[in-house]
Each structure stands twice: as structure tokens, then as C-alpha cells.
Amino acid sequence: MTLQLDDLRVRHLGECRYDSPLAEMLSTKQTSPHYVAEGDRVLLEDTVSMLAEHRLPPARVPSFEGAGPRRKIYFDPARVTAGIVTCGGLCPGLNNVIRGLVQELAVHYKVKRILGFRNGLRGLTAEHRHDTVELTPAHVRGIHKDGGTILGSSRGGQDAEEMVDSLVLRGVDIMFVIGGDGGMRAATYLSDAIRARGLDIAVIGVPKTIDNDLPFTDQSFGFQSAFARATDFIASVSVEAASSPNGVGIVKLMGRHSGFIASYAALAANGADIVLIPEIPFAFEGPDGLLAHVEQRVRAKGHVVIVLAEGAGQDLLDQPGPQRNGRGTDASGNVKLGNVGELLKERIAAHLAAAGLAPTMRYIDPSYSIRSIAANAYDSVYCLRLAHAAVHAAMAGRTAAAVARWRRRFVHVPLSLMTSRRNQVDPDGDLWMSVLETTCQPAAFGSQPDREKVRTGFC
Ligand SMILES: Nc1ncnc2c1ncn2[C@@H]1O[C@H](COP(=O)(O)OP(=O)(O)OP(=O)(O)O)[C@@H](O)[C@H]1O
Ligand SMILES: O=P(O)(O)OC[C@H]1O[C@](O)(CO)[C@@H](O)[C@@H]1O
Ligand SMILES: [Mg+2]
């Protein structure tokens, strides 16, 4: 199914009748390479051939509504209450987004009441709906220097109707949901339940996750900070491996079912011999299997460095059964991953010993170390600008939408699209080509069962 222009339209709560306090700032604004004027749109596709396939005039090809302040807004700032919640795994930049939201709401729109709901969407259940914190610029002044989230986060499913009751009881007009695929899914259910009740409450998602597994955004915030931190561990394990006879350095990195952190960290560290990601299955055995390649690298250079995405090789661990992997799911329904790092260590150590290359194994699993840090400079700016875009969207009455950066422009993406599929590394894309060019590893290790085609199109 090819996306059409109407698939990318964002819902508006109604006519914007109030003058925006930022209207004066907009008087001279027009579209340029550095600004998307009100009413203009950002193309979904950015190559001549992809655009030509539509055989449509520019105004009809799929495009996103540009983000940014509007001259007229839907809500009366003097009477608005905003709510903020952070959900799912921690991610560098969460506090930066909270700070940006509060600053833009309070300072520029003069919104007087901003409620922080605690510990993820459980903070919107009947049990916790009154345990909120009033957020003011003074309260959030220095939080951007800290990792984590001052509001707390959690996993688990909550009832949409119960959450809507909380918004009504607390008088919330705008709800900002900062979350990953799960959080965006929850925001979708929340806005659906609000619409079914005919309520005038805007729900705006701010996509978040170190995994970068969200579609329709160039990168999710926190991803750059996480993979930058991961390069430190790759550097350490490379030193250990290079300083030991038949050294084998392995770093296992987060990313769930997407291999972006492993791919980018390996490219940034630029010293890995092998990168293993969930999107590309691998076999241990056989003349072109992984073990033969590891042995060849150890014989050639005396050591080997492997960057392993935590979601790689799950098929080698999976047992048949209802959850496919037999390990069940977490409170949010995410499949629990098996420890492919342990399997890799065992198989490589045994193979090299049998080949007469007694190995020195060095294994690092940074785990939470790459996501509990503060945002780096890039993500700090990105988070602040996403927060500004989210406030402008909400005040202009947009809802059931996320703010995202798409081809360098800030845009509004319907939540239904944000949850339509998982963003994964395209085995036929240029990122993976760069990894192969850097590691000189083969495109595949061992004879592959038919690889589950990674859905990398727009839909
Ligand atoms: N299928 C779902 N239906 C309703 N709500 C959901 C669903 N999945 C997740 N949620 C809600 O979203 C919250 C966050 O989801 P999850 O724990 O999967 O993390 P996430 O938002 O995907 O972030 P990350 O991927 O960075 O960990 C959950 O606590 C739950 O409240
Ligand atoms: O926070 P938990 O429940 O330990 O889950 C860890 C998962 O969360 C993430 O950090 C973000 O989704 C994944 O990369 C990782 O697999
Ligand atoms: Mg997720």
C-alpha cells in the first residue's frame, strides 16, 4: 500500500480563533531552505524517481504538515492546563524535552498550569492521577544536565478510558506523551478514547527511544547520545583484544529488534571486524559461517573485535512456543530477548580452542550505561526544538499527532503512522553498505534461511 497525501494529514480540534503571542515573530516568515511557512508542507519522498512514481502535481504528492508556530491558535493560553508524561525505557534527553515544553508553554504562551504525571502512564491511572507535580520554569531550570527523567517512567499497559477520566478530572486540555513505539501506541489509544467522548483535549507525541526503531523520523532523540557512549566500550574492548594473544573482544549493545546502535557505534569507533544485527541472520557453522570468519581474522591480525546488537541471532536461541522465544514478554508486551552474547562467547571460545588458537575472551555488556546518561550537545538541541514544535502543534489544536524531524525539517506525523511499523536497518540500504565497507565482513555469514524481508518502505 503506497501512502497517499490524505494518509499524512493530521487531525485539527477546530478553528484557530485566538491570536498567537508569537504572531509578531511570524509576520515576515516565508518558506525558505531554513523555514517552513504556515500552510506549506514537507515532502515525504526526496528523490526524483520516487516523486515521479506518483504521477501527481506537487500539491497532491504525499507530504507532511510543517511544524512551527501559527499566527492563530486554537486554545486560549490563559485557560489552558497542559500535562506531560514520560514512558518506557530511559533515554538521554528526556529532561531536555520536559524543560523545553515547560519553557515554551510558560514563557511564550503564558500557560499557567503544567502538570507532570509521574512514572509513566501509570501516573494517569485512578490510583496515581493526583500524585502530580506542578512544573514551572524555576522547577526545571537545570534538569537538562541530568540523565533520566524528573517525572520517572515505567512499562506496562494502562486502560485508555481510565486515563481519559484522569485528564478530565485534572482539567488537562493538552497532553504531551514522550515515549517510544509503546508510548506512541498508548497516545493513539488515548486520543481515540478522547475523540469517542467528543472531548476537546489535544494529544501530542514526542517520539523517544535510544533504539531508533520509530518510523517517519530521521532519528529518535537520545539515539545519538547512546551510540556515542557505546563507542567508548568498543574502544575499551578493542584495546583489551589487541593486547592479548588471540584476543576476542565482544560488545553487546541495546537496540531491541533494530541494529542502529550497533551499526552507528561500530562506524563511529571504526575498529570493529564484525557487526551482528537483528535484521541480518547469521550461521555459526560452515566454510562461510561466522566461526570460520572469526578464526580467519584472528589468524590474520592476532585478534578480533565484534559489535553485537542484543536482538541479533535470536533465531539461534528461540524455542518453539506461544511467545516464539519461550521467554515471554515484559509488562508492556515487548518480547524478552535471549542472551545471544553468552552463546557467541561460548561458540567462539570453543571453536578457537579446537583450532589451536587458545583465545583470550573479553566481553562487555554496557547495558543501561548507554541510556542513563545526559543528552549530548546534538540531542540537547534536538530535544529542545522537538519540545518547541510540540507546544506549537498543541496550541494550534493539532492532535493524534507526533512531532518529528523528517529530512531535516520539523513536521507533524499522524500517530497512526508513527505506530505503523518498526524502523529497522535496511540490509539493502546505504547504512549497512557502510558497515560492510568498514568491517570488510561478508554480506552474510553462512547459508541463510530465507531472510525475513525487513519492511523498509514507508508503509
Ligand atoms: N500495545 C499497547 N497498548 C497500550 N499502551 C501501550 C502499549 N504498549 C505500550 N503501551 C504503553 O506505553 C508505555 C511505554 O511502552 P514501552 O514500555 O514499550 O516503552 P516505549 O514507549 O516503547 O519506549 P522504549 O522503546 O524506549 O522503551 C507502557 O508503559 C504502556 O503504558
Ligand atoms: O528497560 P528494560 O525493561 O530493561 O528494557 C531494556 C530495553 O529498553 C531499551 O533500552 C529501549 O527500548 C531497549 O534497547 C532495551 O532492550
Ligand atoms: Mg519501544
**Which tens digit of pLDDT belongs to each residue from 330-345?**
999 999 999 999 999 9
Structure confidence at residue 399 (pLDDT): 98
Strand ranges in 26-129 using DSSP code E only, listed in sequence order: 41-43, 63-66, 72-73, 81-86, 113-117
Ligand nearest to the CA of 222: 1
Selecting among 173, 211, 273, 379, the annotated active-site residue is 211
Amino acid identity of 347? R
Residue 173 bears catalytic tag: no
Indicate if ligand 1 lies below 6 Å from the C-beta of 441. Answer: no
State in Å: Cα 239 to ligand 2 middle. Answer: 28
Indicate if ligand 1 lies below 6 Å from the C-beta of 86. Answer: no
Summarize the annotated binding site for substrate as residue ranges. 209-211, 254-256, 310, 368-371
State in Å: Cα 218 to ligand 2 middle. Answer: 21
Quote the distance between the C-alpha of residue 293 and its chain's center.
Answer: 32
Which residue from 121, 190, 332 has its CB within 8 A of the most atoms of ligand 1, so it is best to mutate? 332
Structure confidence at residue 421 (pLDDT): 95
- 3-state class (DSSP) for residue 57: coil
Q: What is the pLDDT of residues 100-113, one digit of tens each?
A: 999 999 999 999 99
**Domain layout of the chain by residue ranges:** 5-220+375-418, 224-372+426-439
When pLDDT is cut at 50, 70 and 90, the band that residue 448 belongs to is low
* Sheet strand arrangement including 113-117: 41-43, 63-66, 409-414, 401-406, 202-207, 174-179, 81-86, 113-117, 132-134
Exposed / middle / buried, residue 439 (Cβ in 10 Å: 0-12, 13-18, 19+): buried
Please state, in angstroms and rounded to a whole number, the distance separating the CA atoms of residues 432 and 277.
Answer: 10
State in Å: Cα 207 to ligand 1 middle. Answer: 12
Indicate if ligand 1 lies below 6 Å from the C-beta of 64. Answer: no
Percent over 90 (pLDDT), the chain? 93
Indicate if ligand 2 lies below 6 Å from the C-beta of 213. Answer: no
- 3-state class (DSSP) for residue 399: strand
Indicate if ligand 2 lies below 6 Å from the C-beta of 371. Answer: yes
Q: Of all residues in the chain, what percent are helix, strand and coil, respectively (each to 5)? A: 35, 20, 45
Summarize the annotated binding site for Mg(2+) as residue ranges. 181
In this structure, are residues 63 and 43 in contact, taking their beta carbons and an 8 Å threshold? yes
pLDDT above 70 for 324? no
In this structure, are residues 222 and 277 in contact, taking their beta carbons and an 8 Å threshold? no
Equal CATH topology for 5-220+375-418 and 224-372+426-439: yes
In this structure, are residues 74 and 12 in contact, taking their beta carbons and an 8 Å threshold? yes
Which comes out higher in pLDDT, residue 455 or 21? 21
Q: Which CATH architecture has domain 5-220+375-418?
A: 3-Layer(aba) Sandwich (3.40)
State in Å: Cα 147 to ligand 1 middle. Answer: 20
Structure confidence at residue 447 (pLDDT): 74
The mean per-residue pLDDT over the stretch 408-414 comes to 98
The mean per-residue pLDDT over the stretch 56-66 comes to 97
Cell of 269: 569507533
Ligand nearest to the CA of 117: 1
Summarize the annotated binding site as residue ranges. 89, 155-156, 180-183, 209-211, 254-256, 310, 368-371
When pLDDT is cut at 50, 70 and 90, the band that residue 318 belongs to is confident
Query: Which CATH number is associated with domain 224-372+426-439?
Result: 3.40.50.460
When pLDDT is cut at 50, 70 and 90, the band that residue 291 belongs to is very high
